A and B are shown apart, each in its own frame.
Chain A
Amino acid sequence: MRRRTFLAASAMGLAAPAVGRAQDSRVLRFIPQADLTVLDPMWTTAYVTRNHAFMVYDTLFGQDSQYRPSPQMLEGFSTGDNGKTWTLTLRPGLLFHDNEPVRARDCVASLERWGKRDAFGSALMAATDELVAKDDRTLVFRLKKPFPLLPAALAKTPLFMPAIMPERIARTDPFTQVTEMIGSGPFRFKADERVPGARVVYEKFAGYKPRDGGPTDWTSGPKVVHFDRVEWTTIPDPTTAAQALINGEQDWWDYATADLMGLLARSRGVKVVVQEPSGQIATFRMNHLQPPFNNPAIRRALLGAVSQEDVVTAVVGTDPKMSRTGVGFFCPDTPMASSVGLDMLAGPRDMGRVKRELKAAGYKNERVVLLAATDFPVLKAMADVTADMLKRAGMNVDYQATDWGSVVTRRAKKDPVEAGGWSAFCTAWAGTDHLNPAGHIPLRANGEQGWFGWPNDPRIEQLRTAWFDAPDVPAQAAICAEIQREAFGSLPYIPLGQYLQPTAYRSSLDGVLNGFALFWNVRRA
Chain B
Amino acid sequence: MLGYLTRRVLATIPVMAIVALFVFSLLYIAPGDPAAIIAGDQATPADVERIRAGLGLDRPFLIRFGEWLWQVVRGDLGVSIFTNLPVTRLIQQRLEPTVSLMILTLILSIVIAVPMGVLAAWNQGTWIDRAIMVLAVFGFSVPVFVVGYLLAYVFALDGFGLGLDWFPVQGYTPLARGFGPWLSNLVLPSVALGGVYIALIARITRATMLEVLSQDYIRTAKAKGVGSRTVLFLHALKNAAVPIVTVIGIGVALLIGGAVVTESVFAIPGLGRLVVDAILRRDYPVIQGVVLLFSFVYVLVNLGVDLLYTVFDPRIRY
Contacts and interface: CB of A to CB of B under 8 A. Distances in A.
A19 to B, nearest CB: 9
Interface string B111-138: 0000000000000000000000000000
Interface in B132-190: 149, 152-153, 156-157, 165-171, 173, 177-178, 180-181, 183-185, 187
B83 interface: yes
A408 B169 CA distance: 34
Interface in B3-41: 31-34, 36-41
B66 interface: no
Contacts of B220: none
Contact of A408 (B37, B170, B187): B37
Interface centre among A46, A175, A375, A404 (most CB of B within 10 A): A175
Nearest to B168: A18
B171 A12 contact: no
Interface in B253-273: 264-267, 269, 273
Interface string A215-243: 00000000000000000011111011101
Contacts of A179: 84
A45 B41 contact: yes
A38 to B, nearest CB: 6
Contacts of B51: 43, 175
B177 to A, nearest CB: 8
B302 to A, nearest CB: 29
A237 B165 contact: no
B85 interface: yes
Nearest to B164: A11
Interface string B51-62: 100100000000
A433 interface: yes
A210 B40 CA distance: 32
Interface stretch (B100-108, B223-231, B275-283): B275-283
Contacts of B280: 375, 403-405
Contacts of A309: none
A237 B267 contact: yes
Contacts of B64: none
A496 B187 CA distance: 45
Contacts of A247: 156-157, 165, 168-169
Contacts of A176: 54
Given A175-B50, A175-B51, A412-B36, A196 B90 contact: yes
Contacts of B31: 402, 405-406, 409-410
A294 interface: no
A211 interface: no
B184 A240 contact: no
Interface string B80-101: 1011110000100110000000
B79 to A, nearest CB: 11
A14 B264 contact: no
B38 A38 contact: yes
Interface string A8-24: 00011111111000000
A82 interface: no
B269 A14 contact: no
A246 interface: yes
Contacts of B277: 35, 37, 197, 236
B273 A405 contact: no
B273 A240 contact: no
B156 A412 contact: no
Contacts of B267: 198, 233-237, 240-241, 244
A412 B33 contact: yes
Contact of A451 (B33, B42, B169, B185): B42
Interface string A434-452: 0000000100000001111
A159 interface: yes
B277 to A, nearest CB: 5
B274 interface: yes
B166 A409 contact: no
A293 B168 CA distance: 52
Contact of B166 (A14, A375, A405): A14
Nearest to A413: B45
Interface in A233-272: 233-237, 239-241, 243-244, 246-247, 249
A199 interface: yes
Contacts of A159: 40, 42
Contacts of B178: 17
Contact of B36 (A35, A38, A408, A429): A408
Interface centre among A173, A196, A236 (most CB of B within 10 A): A196
Given A240-B265, A441-B44, 20 more contacts: A14-B166, A14-B180, A16-B184, A17-B173, A17-B178, A45-B43, A175-B54, A195-B93, A196-B93, A197-B269, A236-B267, A247-B156, A402-B31, A403-B32, A404-B280, A405-B31, A405-B33, A405-B281, A412-B45, A451-B45
Interface of B: 31-34, 36-48, 50-51, 54, 80, 82-85, 90, 93-94, 149, 152-153, 156-157, 165-171, 173, 177-178, 180-181, 183-185, 187, 264-267, 269, 273-274, 277, 280-282
11 contacts: A12-B166, A16-B184, A17-B181, A117-B47, A177-B84, A233-B170, A244-B169, A244-B171, A405-B33, A405-B280, A449-B46
Interchain residue pairs A-B with the least CB separation, the first 3 = A45-B40, A198-B269, A14-B184
